[in-house]
Structure 1
Amino acid sequence: MKKFLGLLSLFALLTAFTCENEPLDTDLSNASTTTNLDLVGAWDLQEFSVTLNSSTSFEGQTFSSDIDIASTEVDYVVEFTQSSFVTNGSYSYSTNVVFDGETISSEPQSLENVTGNGTYSTSGDEMTVDGSFFEFEFDGMDNSVLQGEQTANFEISNDGQTLTFTQIETVTETDGMTGTEIVNSVNSISVWSRQ
């Protein structure tokens, strides 16, 4: 169960830069010509949302959970150089959890003095990040599990003023000893504006 909760926390945090119902003024044909130079500079987070669906199967029983996370207040910046980034600021978010049909809502959570850094590379409309967009501690959990390589799609608007990250990913993990299978699907989007 600890591993399962760790995975839920990990996916929710890794995708904490997302946004829902935001109009995107992007041109997909422009994505193939985007370079790291187009990203250089500071970008203010506008909003984010994350939807995480998880299903755990063990000995013929299936448990499911749906987690929706949405920003409520943001004051957060990512600054890109040609190959690295730093982040800083704060943000608040609300969480709605449905576990096996039972809804659990939480009060908005605030994270202050959040920082992160790392390197990145792009290929077309895909960004690979090695590092962390933020530092995090939850119930004594070390943020080192949030480090490492991750991939997301990105688009920059035609006028170069809006940066949008999307991540749609499904991960299946099976424990060979117990036969437990965990399927986690994450759908996140974040919108940033150039400073």
Structure 2
Amino acid sequence: MKKLTILLCLFTLFFAFTCENEPLDFDSESTQTETELLGDWDLVEFDVSVSSTTNFQGQEFTSDVQILSIDENYTLSFTAGNYSTSGGYTLTADVITNGVEVSGEPYSIENITGSGSYSVNGNEMIVDGSFFEFTFDGIDLSQFQGEQTTDFQVSVDGQTLTFFQNETTNETDATTGITTTNVIVSSSVWTRQ
């Protein structure tokens, strides 16, 4: 069960790469430019919350997952139109399923490397790939890469980068009739090296 919980959390983190709602000095009227992103950024923290509701033959199952970074040594580097990632981090994940809570133990992921391309349109970034690429128990998760869209802001002083990714998904399996709704709220905070 512990490995399944960790794997679920890693899949969630893989798709949601953003963190912390601390008040920062941002100019809400301005749009960002690619030039503001160029260089190396160190991860300060990430926070991912996922609420899921699954319906199957009239039965409803709910789960809430909270993933937090607790030790970060992870770098995101931007060049014109491309990015790369390297390093590692430790996370914890707490899961509540139908009212039963399972508190997660720290889980470290090391030797992460990745790369991809991106484009910027105002305060929105379209990423081809993933900021988080790794394997878990020998399972290569790179097949889950693809185009993702996230909102971002660079602080007025240019030293803090924050990603926000909030989305709701609804899926129905035509074979089983299982319907699932996921509400994902995530953010990550980075500081310029």
TM-score, with length taken from structure 2: 0.91
Residues 10, 145 of structure 1: 8 Å contact kept: no
Distance 2:100 2:155 in 1: 40
Q: Which runs of 5+ in 1 are unaligned?
A: none
Q: Secondary structure at the match of 1:177?
A: coil
User: Hey, what does 1:10 align to over in structure 2?
Assistant: 11
User: Hey, what does 2:50 align to over in structure 1?
Assistant: 52
Q: Which amino acid aligns with 1:11?
A: T
Equivalences for residues 25-36 of structure 1 within 5 A: 25-30=25-30, 32=31, 34-36=32-34
User: Hey, what does 2:120 align to over in structure 1?
Assistant: 122
- In the TM superposition, residue 187 of structure 1 has moved relative to its aligned partner by 0.3
User: Hey, what does 2:20 align to over in structure 1?
Assistant: 20
Q: Secondary structure at the match of 2:29?
A: helix
Q: Which amino acid aligns with 2:85?
A: T
Instruction: Describe the superposition over 1:1-28 as per-residue Cα deviations: whole angstroms up to 9, x where unpaired.
Output: xxxx98764333222x433342222111
Q: More displaced, 171-180 or 97-106? A: 171-180
User: Hey, what does 2:3 align to over in structure 1?
Assistant: none
Equivalences for residues 53-132 of structure 1 within 5 A: 53-132=51-130
Residues 14, 130 of structure 2: 8 Å contact kept: no
Distance 1:47 1:26 in 2: 18
Distance 1:182 1:92 in 2: 29
Instruction: Describe the superposition over 1:16-47 as per-residue Cα deviations: whole angstroms up to 9, x where unpaired.
Output: x43334222211112x2x21111110011111
Q: Which amino acid aligns with 1:23?
A: P
Residues 118, 125 of structure 2: 8 Å contact kept: yes
Distance 1:63 1:145 in 2: 28
Residues 53, 182 of structure 2: 8 Å contact kept: yes
- In the TM superposition, residue 97 of structure 1 has moved relative to its aligned partner by 0.3
User: Hey, what does 1:134 align to over in structure 2?
Assistant: 132
Q: Which runs of 5+ in 2 are unaligned?
A: 1-5
Distance 1:88 1:55 in 2: 34
Q: Which amino acid aligns with 1:156?
A: V
Find the partner of 1:145 among 143, 147, 157.
143
Q: How many residues align?
A: 188
Find the partner of 2:180 among 173, 179, 182.
182
Q: Secondary structure at the match of 2:25?
A: coil
- Root-mean-square deviation (CA, aligned residues, Å) is 1.7
Q: Secondary structure at the match of 1:64?
A: strand
TM-score, with length taken from structure 1: 0.91
